Structure 1
Amino acid sequence: MKAFRMSLIMIVLCGLAFPLLMTGIAQILFPKQANGSILYNEKKQAIGSELIGQSFKNPKYFQGRVSSIEYDANGSGSKNYAPSNEEMIKRTQKDAEKWLKDHPGKTLKDVPLDLITNSGSGLDPHITPAAARFQIPKIIKANQGKVTEQQLEKLIQKHIEDRNIGVLGQPRVNVLLLNMDLQKVIQR
């Protein structure tokens, strides 16, 4: 009987009280993050999370990294292929050829690696500033003069996030945030 009561007490404490307490503290101290860092458009409609990448197929917008799970946030992961894996080599070559087709005069060395390789989670919302800049000519062409190179460079510069605590990771650009600002520019 003692074991049963102790189990019941632990279930209530660890399975109910503690999670509710942590959720309450998170809602008070970090409400945006506790609710998924959801981003809204001008009409107050949710368009995505700042933390989860999205697929942008329209050439008028910046493209993110390749996602082996098609940005399905129900689970994360990647195929975790070695660089020598035949399937990965074929896929990256195909993706690189697509980028080169859209960027005449560029070579394979010019294509930023993050545009042709997966992130570990398949949900990464960021690309490098170099990957964003690489896309500028394609975006100008797709938008038929509604945006200039200077405007795009300014948008990229605005959205560069520095290393975490100054030393962890690399500078990066959130593709969804960048595309939200780009949409405002091309709709003017």
Structure 2
Amino acid sequence: MKWTFPNLRLFLALAVITGGIYPLAVTLVSLVLFPHQAHGSLIRNERGEVIASELIAQPFTSARYFWPRPSAGDYATMPSGASNLSWTSGELVKTVAERRAALLKAHNLPEETPVPADMLFASGSGLESFISPEAAEFQLNRVAAARGLPPEKIRELVAEHFVRGGILGENVINVMTLNAALDKLPRG
């Protein structure tokens, strides 16, 4: 009994600090220093309506848009995650072959055309909103043709959404911000 009350006081003090004061302080600092990110990195259209988040991919199927990486969870946020199929899985081999065939068909490319890996394999979360510059270049002519715009105009827009990976990261393109910017272009 001698240790019960001091331990209970310590527990309550730590619960208030770690469960209340610290999260509140971090939230307030993030709201002041990083308001865009603290509110979900939301993308808004011309009317101010929220259309997406920069951080969560959506399934684009129209030829007018750049497509994100495939999703093992069909881009659902609650059951997001990977398929957990190993590199030797027959199901993974079949899925990748189907994705490859569909991509080549959608882009009217010959069978021997290399396809960027991030267009074939889902990310760990299944919600990856970034693609490689190679994946953007792979899709560029399809998007330009569907929008009736010269490929160079689309290439300039892709370059504006290039995110340098830094020392350890990879260079990427944010598909969500790129697609939102595409909708702001004059129709070709």
Fold shared per TM-score above 0.5 = yes
Give the aligned partner of residue 43 of structure 1: 47
Counterparts of residues 1-188 of structure 1 (less than 5 Å): 1-143=5-147, 145=148, 147-164=149-166, 167-187=167-187
Deviations 1:133-169 (A, max 9, x none): 11122223333x2x111111111111111113xx122
Distance in 2 between the 1:57 and 1:182 partners? 15
TM-score (norm 1): 0.90
Q: CA deviation at 1:123?
A: 1.3
Q: CA deviation at 1:75?
A: 4.7
Distance in 1 between the 2:85 and 2:66 partners? 26
Distance in 2 between the 1:80 and 1:6 partners? 42
Distance in 2 between the 1:175 and 1:108 partners? 26
Unaligned runs of 5+ in 1: none
Distance in 2 between the 1:113 and 1:2 partners? 57
TM-score (norm 2): 0.90
Identity %: 34
Deviations 1:52-98 (A, max 9, x none): 11111212111010011122223532012222211111111111001
Distance in 2 between the 1:127 and 1:105 partners? 20
Unaligned runs of 5+ in 2: none
Distance in 2 between the 1:162 and 1:84 partners? 33
| Aligned-CA RMSD value | 1.7
- Helix, strand or coil for the counterpart of 1:155? helix
